[in-house]
Amino acid sequence: MTHSPDNLKDRQHHWESVYQTKAADTVSWYRPHLERSLALIERVAPNRDTAIFDVGGGASTLVDDLLARGYRDLSVLDLSAEALNMARHRLGASADQVIWQVADLLDAPLPAARYDVWHDRAVFHFLVEAEQRAAYVRQLTHALKPGGYAVVATFGIAGPTKCSGLKTAHYDVPGLAQTLGDDFRLLDALSEEHRTPSGTTQSFLYALFQHP
* Cβ pair 24, 59 in contact under 8 A: yes
Digit-coded pLDDT (tens) for 128-154 = 999 999 999 999 999 999 999 999 999
Q: What is the pTM of this model?
A: 0.89
**CATH code of the domain in which 193 resides:** 3.40.50.150
Q: Are 125 and 169 in contact (CB under 8 A)?
A: yes
Whether 65 is covered by a domain: the verdict is yes
Structural domain for 96, as ranges: 8-210
In a domain, 14, yes or no: yes
In a domain? residue 109 = yes
**φ/ψ of residue 155, rounded to 5:** -65, 135
Q: How far apart are CA 25 and CA 31, in angstroms?
A: 7
Quote the CA–CA distance of 150 and 155 in Å, as a whole number: 16
Q: Does the pLDDT of residue 3 top 50, yes or no?
A: no
* β 201-210/144-155 pair status: antiparallel
* Cα separation values, 37 from 18, 141, 147, 205, Å: 23, 20, 19, 11
Q: What confidence tens digit (pLDDT) does each residue in 79-130 have?
A: 999 999 999 999 999 999 999 999 999 999 999 999 999 999 989 999 999 9
Q: Is residue 22 part of a domain?
A: yes
Encode pLDDT of 158-205 as tens digits: 888 888 778 999 999 999 999 999 999 999 999 998 887 777 888 999
What pLDDT, on a 0 to 100 scale, did the predictor assign at position 11?
72
In a domain, 75, yes or no: yes
User: 49 versus 3: which is more confidently predicted?
Assistant: 49
Residue 2 placed within a domain:
no
Residues 6+ apart with CB under 8 A from 60: 34, 54, 87, 121
Residue 1 maps to a domain:
no
**Any domain includes 21:** yes
Rounded distance, CA 151 to CA 64, Å? 18
Number of compact structural domains in the chain: 1
Return the closest-CA partner of residue 166 out of 106, 120, 196, 123: 123
Burial class (CB in 10 A: 0-12, 13-18, 19+), 24: middle
